[in-house]
Amino acid sequence: MTGGHTLMAKEIKTIGVLTSGGDAPGMNAAIRAVVRKALVNGVSVKGIKKGYKGLLNEEIIDLEKKDVSDTIQRGGTILGTARCMEFLTEEGQAKGAEICKAHGIDGLVVIGGDGSYRGALALAKHGINVIGLPGTIDLDIACTEYTIGFDTAINTAMQAIDKIRDTSSSHERCSIIEVMGRNAGYIALWCGIANGAEDILLPEKYDYDEQRIVNNIIHNRKRGKTHHIIINAEGIGHSTSMARRIEAATGIETRATILGYMQRGGSPTCKDRYYASIMGAYAADIICQGKTNRVVGYQHGEFVDFDMEEALKMTKDIPEYQYEVSRVLSM
């Protein structure tokens, strides 16, 4: 796991840091840690605004210790982020590497998800040292048990679902609440258990048997339950049309709520700030040592690093026991 390619001939004098893909609470804590630890290591830091798009547009600024003061508690990313189609091309990637070299950037810390790492690997092929940090609310990076932003997102969603549950119970409704996570069901699983949902629909497990859900709702109503909460992952989606079908089948008023981008915002939790800070410092250390093509992760209680190409090939799935528990507790 640890180790990796070390370019002994390449002395690291200046590094860059960027955030890419969807933003996640805690990214600012990671940026702050990268900047401050690199400066302590005697290495200059440049911030690249708006991800790879900003790199290609040369939106590059010097970052000093004071520039990251009063940022650890802020949601979003102070550097900004953007999607960039041009960087998916060979020409765009070569241009990005040339811009790094023109600005004296020897290595780049990329905070984001799998797509961001693929962009980083493209830069590595052109001679730029790269380190990846797992920044995504989805928890869908296989090499790490934890991703920056997940804890804040699930707490934001949990609090919103609690409020919906209050009004759902008052009106004796069925509520479908759609949470984020792309094609991964981790947010849905965690909130489903934490909010005591009656049904949890995960992309990895759902068999699209709506009749089973309908039967469950009717059974619970006969038992005297005044509400029915369904947590639906965005990888399944179509919550509004599902609500219409369930209401038609059960005769029980059913409403869909899509929590959406609120899950990406807000001040990061203590856990996200802490993990982002340690991971950011770790990334700064290994890039300053000359390591490249590594992803920082958290496994078995330790902060570690993995080969980036190997990390992208890894897979992870919903833990079977946790899924079984979610089903048992919802009965």
The number of angstroms, rounded, from the C-alpha of 327 to the middle of its chain's C-alpha atoms is 25
Q: 79, 12, 9: which is closest to 39 by C-alpha?
A: 12
- Residues 199-233 pLDDT 10s: 999 999 999 999 999 999 999 999 998 889 999 99
**pTM for this predicted structure:** 0.94
Q: 113, 128, 135: which is closest to 16 by C-alpha?
A: 128
The one catalytic residue among 106, 138, 151, 305: 138
Q: Are 140 and 183 in contact (CB under 8 A)?
A: yes
Q: What letter would DSSP give residue 108?
A: E
- pLDDT tens digits in sequence order for the chain, 331 residues long: 555 444 444 789 999 999 999 999 999 999 999 999 999 999 999 999 999 999 999 999 999 999 999 999 999 999 999 989 999 999 999 999 999 999 999 999 999 999 999 999 999 999 999 999 999 999 999 999 999 999 999 999 999 999 999 999 889 899 999 999 999 999 999 999 999 999 999 999 999 999 999 999 999 999 998 889 999 999 999 999 999 999 999 999 999 999 999 999 999 999 999 999 999 999 999 999 999 999 999 999 999 999 999 999 999 999 999 999 999 998 8
In 35-167 the beta strands, taken as DSSP E runs, fall at: 44-48, 60-63, 107-112, 129-134
Please name the residues in contact with 219: beta carbons below 8 A apart, sequence gap of 6 or more.
none
List of domains in the chain: 5-149+268-313 (3.40.50.450), 152-264 (3.40.50.460)
Phi, psi of 5 (to 5 degrees): -70, 125
Active site residue 138: yes
What are the CA-CA distances from residue 153 to residues 109, 170, 190, 203, 329 (Å)? 23, 26, 11, 18, 22
